[in-house]
Structure 1
Amino acid sequence: MANPHTAGLYRTFVGGLGTLIVLVGLVLVPLPGPGWLIVIIGLFIISSEFHWAQRLLHFVRVNVERWTHWIMAQRLWVRWTIGAATAAFVAVIVWLTLKLTGLPGWVPDLRLFDVIGLR
């Protein structure tokens, strides 16, 4: 930008918006959903103005690709075990969240919720 004052304001706005999105994503990481994706979107926004964020985004991309290739090179039982452990972790996080916040009112009254300790 031609005006240094405007360029500074723009960088501040982009940095603030990206940081806010990263923080929201980090809060959502332990919950089921796109927490990490939101973090990466926030980093992408910040990286449009800050070189350190470009390097961090590149590091994340390289390591996600490395992890994906490693998983795909494993035997089927290893992939299934990692998938089952991930599903169990997500189930525990959902259970803890519902235990702490309570079931929403629109959830039907099922005996299952008594059995797993949510009512």
Structure 2
Amino acid sequence: MPTDQRAPGATSSSAPAGPAAQTGGAGPAASPKSSRNIRARVRALPGGWVAWRIGITVVGVAIIAGGIVLLPLPGPGWLIIFAGLGVLATEYTWAARLLTWARDQVLRWTEWLKGQPIWIRLLVGLLTLLVLVGVAAAAWYLFR
């Protein structure tokens, strides 16, 4: 438990005024399992900032790669890609901007496709199926 270095009755204008300060620092912000607290502890280590950033990059890129592999399959391919961009956006401003742009593009595509005649929607579905067959054939050829 942290000790207070101030004299009894002394006040400080820089002291926190939230619930954590009133409970002696035992609020949710001071929780040792808080992600920000873990990030701060890792970054405080020598080389920790670089290690944290490399770790976030590896995890984010791996999630995005998994989403790209699952993209032609029925399922949450885009959701997984957005999750990977979300992980990268915790460290990189460019990833946050790309995530916003990608969300807007997917929403525009979805709205455009909803307004098309049924034959265009079926054609898009057929093209998606052909991509799926192509991925499956390539996987079978490479891993047989």
Judging changes above 3 Å, is the alpha-carbon distance between structure 1 residues 101 and 20 closer, same or farther for their aligned structure 2 residues? closer
Alpha-carbon offset, residue 2 of structure 1: 8.2
Tell me the matched-pair count.
101
- TM-score by length of structure 1 reads 0.65
Judging changes above 3 Å, is the alpha-carbon distance between structure 1 residues 23 and 99 closer, same or farther for their aligned structure 2 residues? closer
1:14 match? 56
1:114 match? none
Rg larger in structure? 2
Indicate the RMSD between aligned Cα atoms, in angstroms.
2.8
Alpha-carbon offset, residue 97 of structure 1: 1.9
Deviations 1:6-60 (A, max 9, x none): 572433432332233334444x257636554433221110101221110000011
Judging changes above 3 Å, is the alpha-carbon distance between structure 1 residues 19 and 91 closer, same or farther for their aligned structure 2 residues? closer
Specify the SS of the correspondent of 1:71: helix
The counterpart of 2:117, out of the listed 71, 75, 81, is 75
1:51 pairs with 2:66: no
- Out of 52-61 and 35-44, give the one that drifted further: 35-44
Distance in 2, matches of 1:98 and 1:65, equals: 33
- TM-score by length of structure 2 reads 0.56
**Bigger RCO (CA 8 Å, 6+ sep):** 1
Alpha-carbon offset, residue 99 of structure 1: 3.2
Judging changes above 3 Å, is the alpha-carbon distance between structure 1 residues 31 and 101 closer, same or farther for their aligned structure 2 residues? farther
The counterpart of 1:85, out of the listed 127, 138, 142, is 127
Confirm or deny: 8 A CA contact 1:31 1:94 kept in the other structure.
no
Q: Which has the higher helix share?
A: 1
Distance in 2, matches of 1:93 and 1:2, equals: 43
Unaligned runs of 5+ in 2: 1-39
The percentage of aligned residue pairs carrying the same residue is 30
